[in-house]
Structure 1
């Protein structure tokens, strides 16, 4: 949102300037926010999905490499005209200027920004699937707030916005910021960042095995795989390699058992739960 504020501030100065040179100068300044905002939106979505790139400086530098290159090219546009090719007054008046866009703009500015926004939006959609149901309201709210910048930028680039030459994208991001502010300050939803179930499942010291009625392994965590003596990828989808466990687990909906592994002397403390669905999770 700091980048959006910088973007909007540069746009305000560009709209209020009357000379062509001043307008071009402020357009270059606002590119700091224009190019940084989509990448920061992606980083927000990555952090919300517990994918931490901030500690991996190589990936962080890679994400900002193209925006930095485009910013430098915009600063020296007079020498190559790869970002802006022409400037003309808008037929809508109001001191607006229509910029002709070059290949660097379409590929490095618009194209790369759309890519960052698309990846960020897909990550928010991903969270709808992986997070518990009571956290889906957060993801849906974030998704809806991300729709506004998409619409604003499409209207600007297509020339469909009534005031030609006015970019409504920073105003759209301001709407996104307002939604975030409501989430943070009033609903306080974003303080409750959900913990990925997959990580908790993988990290548990107890072995967990989920089997169906035919005792085929539907899911298993690393501890369970170690107890069964095979890698998890070899066990999933195959029959439980301990048929002596099957009868004990299928007898009742919930059981606490102590069984000795045949020919080993190892005693397992088993808590078996039979769910209402065809799957029967067993934990030991």
Structure 2
């Protein structure tokens, strides 16, 4: 029993080391996301070590029992934090979902410890023996479940660090080696504590963590671990799908990743043979020219018809002198072809839209025309008349209109048939169009027509109306006995109205006066 106290003192020294290292890492928390989980791991180890020291400090039995909970709080926190630390240095984003997933087992462990005095599933038996009193336990089934889980998590973390070490170089490789040793030393010591037949009298795992603390302190202070992580930088370069080339100041290739080897092609030879050769000898002339042009971005067309997005950046020393260039190339052939296909599709779409717009315009124009006479119909006439009245009023010009009606048109239909009546309307429309602008002639409905006379006052409009009446009187449709006459009413804005309704009503009243006066004549609005 005499050997226990000195060992506990060594563990206390180990706790001081891990706590000091934890303070150092916590101060670097703003520099990298790996600092906080490492700090948490060192804090957990310190709590674990303090619990072990207290268990060997001649405390009463009831106080010894109280050290179990913080001891395994430190154990669970250490396993969780080390796993998250390895995730951070390997480049994995620390997401809340992953942290919660790894926190489930430690949380269940603490609940189980709180209930274990009644369940005896974690510690099957607990005895207090000796002087000073020591707490002696036998492991229950859930103790081994927790041990297996903890070892599995630590081994997966060590495997991740080993993978990073194999893919790293230089300082990053040394960092990975330091972390690997720092994790495995306490792992092996803990095996010596818990394995049947090997179990030691005192849990020396916190003592082994003194080695971990020293190694991490060395990595933080001397290897600048927290400033340079993630150590997976080279792994990223190796696995990234973009081709990466390092070209020195003499235009020689000094490094290339597997994606870059795929760009060079099988004819370039193995990776070890291409390094050191002139870069221009390894790539197509267009790529070499793009890189030689200096820092920038360009899309290069390859001889095989593909396209390569080439981005070049200078590598400079602390004084700004160029050491070489890093070239990142990405195959954008599919994207380029997709863009061309999209452009062709857009061209077709624009052509289709233009066709649709033209058809819509034709349809709108067709809808605004009378199918029999080809003249504009009444559909949009009132809106057009409103616009013309507003324009004429703004310019201070008169605007007249003539409302015309074919005399005795019903009698023509009754006597000669609707086909002849249609011929009469067509010929009247033709005669009106011959003496007025086509856009000013409207078939108002049935046998009625409207002719707009811009810039004409009432007197001038009456003269033009007489001309129109006379032109219609000369219409012939093949029936010698059929004589066509027209009655007309004239109205002028603003004298007879300033709105379409007022002007049309005035013309309509004048038209009825013409018909009431014997037809075949022109009447003016009052």
Shorter-chain TM-score above 0.5:
yes
2:220 is matched with which residue? 184
Aligned partners of 2:206, 2:179: CA distance in 1, in Å? 17
1:36 equivalenced with 2:77 (yes/no) = yes
Shift of 1:49: 0.9
Secondary structure at the aligned position of 1:16 is classed as: coil
Counterpart selection for 1:2 from 37, 40, 43:
43
Q: Is the 8 A contact 2:125 2:138 kept in 1?
A: yes
How many residues were matched structurally? 240
Are the structure 2 counterparts of residues 173 and 262 from structure 1 closer, same or farther at C-alpha, using a change threshold of 3 Å?
closer
Give the equivalent residue in structure 2 for 1:278.
Answer: none
In structure 1, distance between residues paired with 2:56 and 2:308? 77
Aligned mates of 1:267, 1:143 — CA distance in 2: 40
CA 20–254 in structure 1, closer or farther in 2 if over 3 Å, else same: same
The TM-score with structure 1 as length reference comes to 0.70
Q: Check conservation: 1:261, 1:268, Cα contact below 8 A.
A: no
Structure 1: gaps spanning 5 or more residues: 210-217, 225-235, 272-280
Which consecutive segments of 4 or more residues in structure 1 shift more than 4 A?
200-205, 238-241, 259-271, 281-284
Match of 2:168 among 131, 144, 148: 131
Instruction: Tell me how far 1:133 sits from its aligned partner.
Output: 3.6
Q: Check conservation: 1:138, 1:190, Cα contact below 8 A.
A: no
Correspondence 1:100 to 2:138: yes
Quick one: structure 1 residues 6 and 269, their matched pair in 2 at CA, closer, same or farther if it must change by over 3 Å?
closer
SS in 2 for 1:97: strand
Structure 1 pair 8–261 and aligned structure 2 pair: CA distance change class (3 A): closer
- The 5-angstrom pairing of residues 46-195 of structure 1 reads 46-52=87-93, 54=94, 56-89=95-128, 95-108=133-146, 110-158=147-195, 159-160=197-198, 164=201, 166-193=202-229, 194=231
**Which digits, 9 at most, give the CA deviation of each residue in 1:106-147, with x for residues without a partner?**
102x11110111011111101111222442111111111222
TM-score computed with the length of structure 2 as normaliser: 0.40
For the 8 Å contact 2:286–2:302, the answer to whether it is kept is no
Larger radius of gyration, structure 1 or 2? 2
Per-residue CA deviation, residues 159-201 of structure 1 (Å, 9 max, x unaligned), is 5355x2x111111122201211122124434432235235346
**Residue deviations 1:222-273 (CA, integer Å, cap 9, x gap):** xx9xxxxxxxxxxx7x9969x9x99xxx9x84317228545969799799xx
Change (3 A) 1:11 1:176: same
User: Closer, same or farther in 2 for the Cα pair 1:202/1:107, shift >3 Å?
Assistant: closer
Aligned 8 A contact 2:310 2:328 in 1: no
How far apart, in 1, do the equivalents of 2:173 and 2:87 lie?
A: 16
The separation in 1 between residues aligned to 2:145 and 2:48, in whole angstroms, is: 20
SS at match of 2:136: strand
Instruction: Indicate if the aligned counterparts of 1:4 and 1:174 stay in contact, CA closer than 8 A.
Output: no
Segments of structure 2 that go 5 or more residues without pairing to the other structure are 1-41, 246-256, 288-300, 313-326, 331-526
| Separation of aligned partners in 2, 1:79 and 1:101 | 15
Asked which structure has the greater RCO (Cα within 8 Å, sep 6+), the reply is 1
User: Paired residue for 2:286?
Assistant: 258
Q: 2:369 corresponds to which residue?
A: none
Counterpart-to-counterpart distance in 1, 2:115 and 2:121: 9
